[in-house]
Amino acid sequence: MGICDQRVVVITGAGGGLGRAYALAFAAEGAAVVINDVRTEAAQAVAAEIEAAGGRALANGDDITSTAGAQRILDATLAAFGDVHVLVNNAGILRDRMFLSLSEEDWDEVMRVHLKGHFCLAGVLGRHWRAASKAGRDPQAAIVNTSSGAGLQGSIGQSNYAAAKAGIAALTLVQAVELGRYGITVNCLAPAARTLMTESAMPDMVKAPASGFDAWDPLNVAPLVVWLGSTQARGVTGRCFEARGGELSLADGWRTGKIRDKGARWDPAELGPVIAQLIAETPAPQPVYGT
């Protein structure tokens, strides 16, 4: 008996890297897993790996960046397993450039896969779970979104990716508040692991060690995602976790800081000392990645 027995999980970008690690971990805990990836052969290989170990899996290559594609994913999931409980939005791409070198296509493609991909599938599944809730059934559903340290702190050469990932963190906060009434928890994760994206961006940093603990192994992040998708995590929502190796933390996002209230309109010329005092009294932000 695993902590996800009888749960049905949809994972995007699950043909490799973190998505594959999540799929294997969910299956090991008793879940049926839908392996969504545009790389259909990779998705089929992961599904076959799960089935060979005695688990239940379905490979799926539908497009997550359209509502029609998202609906096909839901329909295929219900046809195969009869229900769905968890969505892990994991799929992503990189189009790294310094900001002034970004093309419009570089920007649009990253936003489409990351932000729109999160929107479409969560919307389709969310409406499915809302209908179940209104019919008197408790869906006990969970959405796990994928942000990034780049989205939380910024990253040189990744302004498009960082903006998309910051948007996902904010989306998570709103979804958690709006969807909670329907029995849906929503959390996000900023993982650090060896994937196709990180190997292309920082190959030396994420290289597996010759011996000892491999802190960049994607399987290190999977236990947290599985727990968030289980019924044990029903009381946790609207949170952003960071995970790498054996490290786990909760990100503490933007908060309203110290306030100086004049009680009247400020004159621009008098703002210098006031802002200097506010900066002095406020913790410095974490450095942007790459600085």
The model's pLDDT over 99-122, given as tens digits with 9 standing for 90+, comes to 999 999 999 999 999 999 999 999
Residue that wins the pLDDT comparison between 213 and 120? 120
Task: Quickly count: other Cβ atoms within 10 Å of residue 87's Cβ.
Answer: 31
For residue 211, the model assigns a pLDDT of 78
> Three-class SS of residue 220?
helix
- Among the options 22, 155, 161, 230, which is catalytic? 161
The dihedral region occupied by 190, where left means phi > 0, alpha psi between -120 and 50, and beta the remainder, is beta
Rounded to the nearest angstrom, the gap between the alpha carbon of residue 210 and the centroid of all alpha carbons in its chain is: 30
DSSP summary character for residue 14: T
pLDDT value of position 1: 76
- 255 within a domain of the structure (yes/no): no
Query: What average pLDDT score do residues 61-74 get?
Result: 98
Kindly report the CATH number assigned to the domain that includes residue 137: 3.40.50.720
What region, left, alpha or beta, does residue 153 occupy, with left being phi > 0 and alpha being psi -120 to 50 degrees?
alpha
Q: Is residue 1 part of a domain?
A: no
Query: What is the pLDDT confidence band of residue 43, given thresholds at 50, 70 and 90?
Result: very high
Is the distance from CB of 12 to CB of 225 less than 8 angstroms?
A: no
Residue 290 lies in a domain: no
Q: What is the dihedral of CA 218, 224, 229, 235, to 10 degrees?
A: -160
User: Per the structure, how many domains does the chain have?
Assistant: 1
pLDDT at 199: 57
62 lies in some domain = yes
Separation of alpha carbons 51 and 63, rounded Å: 24
Average pLDDT over residues 72-89: 98
Does the predicted model carry a pTM greater than 0.85?
Answer: yes
212 in any annotated domain:
yes
Q: Catalytic residue, from 22, 159, 165, 230: name it.
A: 165
Q: Please say whether the beta carbons of 77 and 7 come within 8 A.
A: no
d(C-alpha 153, C-alpha 162), whole Å:
8
Residue 113 inside a domain? The answer is: yes
Q: Give me the pLDDT at residue 208, please.
A: 74
Average pLDDT over the chain, rounded to an integer: 94
Mean pLDDT, residues 257-277? 95
Q: Is-catalytic flag, 161?
A: yes
Under the banding of pLDDT at 50, 70 and 90, the label for residue 195 is confident
Q: Is the pLDDT of residue 240 over 70?
A: yes
pLDDT of residue 125: 98
Average pLDDT on 203-217 reads 76
Each residue of 5-39: pLDDT tens digit?
Answer: 999 999 999 999 999 999 999 999 999 999 999 99
Pick from 18-22, 29-33, 123-127, 256-260: least confident? 256-260
Mean pLDDT on 184-206: 79
Beta strands in 30-161 (DSSP E): 32-36, 56-60, 86-88, 141-146
pLDDT exceeds 90 at position 57: yes
* Res. 185: pLDDT tops 70: yes
Distance (Å, whole) CA 254 – CA 132: 34
Total count of residues recorded for the chain:
291
Identity at 127, one-letter amino acid code: R
* Ramachandran assignment for 6, one of left (phi > 0), alpha (psi -120 to 50 degrees), beta (any other): left
Euclidean distance between the first and final Cα of the chain, in Å? 47
Closest-CA residue to 132 (of 83, 174, 175, 76): 83
Say which of 147, 148, 155, 230 is annotated catalytic.
Answer: 148
**Contact at 8 Å (CB) between 206 and 167?**
no
Question: Taking the C-alpha atoms of 15, 160, 191 and 170 in order, what is their torsion angle to the nearest 10 degrees?
Answer: -110
Which of 24-33, 143-152, 228-237, 280-289 shows the lowest mean pLDDT across its residues? 280-289
Model pLDDT, residue 254: 85
SS (H, E, C) 176-207: HHHHHHHCEEEEEEEECCCCHHHHHHCHHHHC
Model pLDDT, residue 290? 87
Q: Is residue 210 part of a domain?
A: yes
Mean pLDDT of 82-95: 97
Structural domain range at position 69: 8-250
Assess whether 165 carries a catalytic annotation.
Answer: yes
> Is 246 a domain residue?
yes
